[in-house]
Amino acid sequence: MLQYFIRRLLFAVPTFFGCTIIVFFIVNLAPGGPYEQQVQALKAGSGFGIGSESSAASKDGAATIPPTALAELKRYYGFDKPVYVRYLIWLGLWPRETDSYNVKLGEPRNVGQGQYLIVEKTANGSYSIIDKDSKQSVNGVWTAENSVLDSTGITQLRVFKTEYAGILTGHFGNSYEYREPVIDLIASRIPISLQFGVIGLVLSYVICVYLGIQKALRHGSTFDLISSSSILISYSIPGWALGLLLLVLLGGGSFFDVFPLGGLQSREYETLSLGEKILDRAHHFVLPVIASTIQSFATLTLLMKNSLLENLSQDYIRTAFAKGLKEKRIIWLHAMRNSVIPIAANIGHIIGIAFVGSFFIETTFNIEGIGKLSYYAILSRDYTVVFAFTVIGVMVNLFGAIISDFVLAMIDPRIRFR
């Protein structure tokens, strides 16, 4: 079995790269990216474009803005390089440019921290970069390049540093929208979504497994019919719609003021004691957890019920009864172990859902979670955040599938992975 899981982990590596390649290329080749949006914003802010009575060149979006500005924008968003190079840079397998400065030959250029560089052209056509104060060459630290800005042949000489930094080194870049490191941005949101996800996951399995057992043991009874109708009705209601209904009924609207309208904590949260903080957070969690987990009740409950009913009709259960074993022992020790196999096989997928959060639930209850962040990152074309979520989503699903196999092997002794 150990060899099987080692192979699964090794197979996850090319799967990860395959998924990221597909998403990266599709997103980068799609129109309306951050570069195009910024160009349109500059045109609108400068009065260029539609309605302008400038020359015919103004009809071309790229011609209404100075070539140097366009070149800087392309360089900032990484669109000055082919898409395959951008992918390698994103991985950290190709050097990315940092600390870029425009320079002129023979003129000192301040590059920060009181350092001035002078770029000279050598006889063989290469560039020599000299530190003004020390008179020493810094070509090993800085690189000089004369970049072509557009099709007219306009060039710009610049110096820059390079480094290998990408997702393989833990560097996800900075968010275009929030202007802060992506890893910090996501790290601040993941705990919020995980709290809802983990609480919802535990409650779903505890309640649904118990309810499914009771429905199987009381199959055809009034309790079975009423509970089936209730969970099927709840399954047909979207989580966000149920959340709005709960807010209207219990959030201090037209009916009862029992729970807060949204958010994670009260305004005076920081002044509360530890016990009061836990109660305050739980008070805010009730409605979002109900709205986010209610739809999973139908699937898990009916799956548990049908699986237990099927196992109770098997010959080994009849044999156990014939031997005189107690009913509770037969149900909980023999039938239950085989009945939870279908639910256990799906646990990895459910963990993935719990991890990524829900945009609709987070929007309904005004929660700044990871689902809301990913949705707005897609709308605003915040590529660095989108690709970070791609990495997280792929890894969660890959490891979730492995966890499902592991749990399945632990529960079902008939399964032996080789």
Residue 176 inside a domain? The answer is no
Q: What is the pLDDT of residues 96-144, one digit of tens each?
A: 888 888 888 888 999 888 889 988 888 888 889 898 888 888 888 898 8
The average pLDDT across 383-401 equals 89
Question: Is 144 found in the same domain as 58?
Answer: yes
Among 212-226, 244-258, 306-320, 403-417, whose mean pLDDT is lowest?
403-417
Residue 59 inside a domain? The answer is yes
Question: Is 254 found in the same domain as 214?
Answer: yes
Nearest of 308, 337, 333, 309 to residue 323 by alpha carbon: 333
Question: Is 153 found in the same domain as 192?
Answer: no
Q: Identify the pLDDT of residue 59.
A: 45
362's tokens: 């987070």
Question: Is 235 found in the same domain as 117?
Answer: no
Q: Identify the pLDDT of residue 13.
A: 92
- Label residues 117-151 b or e (16+ Cβ within 10 Å = b): bbbeeeeeeebebbbeeeeeebeeebbbeeeebee
Question: Is 228 found in the same domain as 79?
Answer: no
Residue 418 inside a domain? The answer is no
Amino acid identity, position 194: L
More confident residue, 53 or 150: 150
Q: Identify the pLDDT of residue 222.
A: 92
C-alpha torsion angle, residues 376, 381, 382, 386 (rounded to 10): 80
Residue 51 has pLDDT above 50, yes or no: no
Q: State the Cα–Cα distance between residues 200 and 292, nearest whole angstrom.
A: 7
Question: Is 286 found in the same domain as 189?
Answer: yes
Position of tokens 């690709």?
A: 387
List of residues 6+ apart from 146 with CB closer than 8 A: 127, 155, 156, 157
Q: Identify the pLDDT of residue 57.
A: 43
Residue 61 has pLDDT above 50, yes or no: no
The average pLDDT across 392-403 equals 86
CATH code, 394: 1.10.3720.10
- What 3-state class would DSSP assign to 145? strand
Q: Which runs of consecutive H residues, i.e. helices, occur in 173-325?
A: 182-217, 222-236, 239-250, 274-312, 315-322
Q: What percent of the chain has pLDDT over 90?
A: 14
Q: Distance between alpha carbon 217 and the CA centroid of its chain, in Å? A: 41
The CA distances from residue 392 to 82, 256, 349, 356, in Å, are: 25, 40, 14, 8
The average pLDDT across 186-213 equals 86
The average pLDDT across 312-329 equals 87
Question: Please, which pLDDT band fits residue 86 given cuts at 50, 70 and 90?
Answer: very high
Sheet architecture: strand order including 96-102: 96-102, 155-163, 143-148
> To 5 degrees, how large is the angle CA 52–CA 57–CA 59?
50
Question: Is 106 found in the same domain as 43?
Answer: yes
Q: Identify the pLDDT of residue 89.
A: 93
Count of positions (residues) in the chain: 418
Q: Which of 169, 199, 229 is the last residue of a domain?
A: 169
Question: Is 374 found in the same domain as 238?
Answer: yes
Question: Is 254 found in the same domain as 124?
Answer: no
Q: Identify the pLDDT of residue 391.
A: 92
Residue 215 inside a domain? The answer is yes
Residue 15 inside a domain? The answer is no
Q: Which of 148, 169, 190 is the last residue of a domain?
A: 169
Residue 96 inside a domain? The answer is yes
Residue 174 has pLDDT above 70, yes or no: yes
- For the chain, helix, strand, coil in percent to 5 are 60, 10, 30
More confident residue, 9 or 149: 9
Give me the domain span that covers residue 216.
182-411
Computed on alpha carbons and rounded to an integer, the radius of gyration of the chain in Å comes to 30
Q: What percent of the chain has pLDDT over 70?
A: 91
Question: Is 263 found in the same domain as 156?
Answer: no
Mean pLDDT over the full length of the chain: 83
Residue 300 has pLDDT above 90, yes or no: no
Among 59-63, 178-182, 325-329, 375-379, whose mean pLDDT is lowest?
59-63
Q: Identify the pLDDT of residue 15.
A: 93
List of residues 6+ apart from 325 with CB closer than 8 A: none
Question: Please, which pLDDT band fits residue 47 given cuts at 50, 70 and 90?
Answer: very low
Residue 123 inside a domain? The answer is yes
Residue 92 has pLDDT above 70, yes or no: yes
Residue 416 inside a domain? The answer is no
User: What domain count does the chain have?
Assistant: 2
Please count the other Cβ atoms lying within 10 Å of the Cβ belonging to residue 391: 17
Question: Is 271 found in the same domain as 160?
Answer: no
Question: Is 190 found in the same domain as 157?
Answer: no
φ, ψ of residue 158 to 5 degrees: the values are -150, 160
Q: Which of 140, 169, 198 is the last residue of a domain?
A: 169
Is 130 in contact with 138 (CB distance < 8 Å)? Answer: yes
Residues paired with residue 315 on neighbouring β-strands, in sequence order = none
3-state SS string over 88-141?
HHHHCCCCEEEEEEECCCCCCEECCCCCEEEEEECCCCCEEEEECCCCCECCCC
Nearest of 181, 20, 180, 145 to residue 86 by alpha carbon: 20
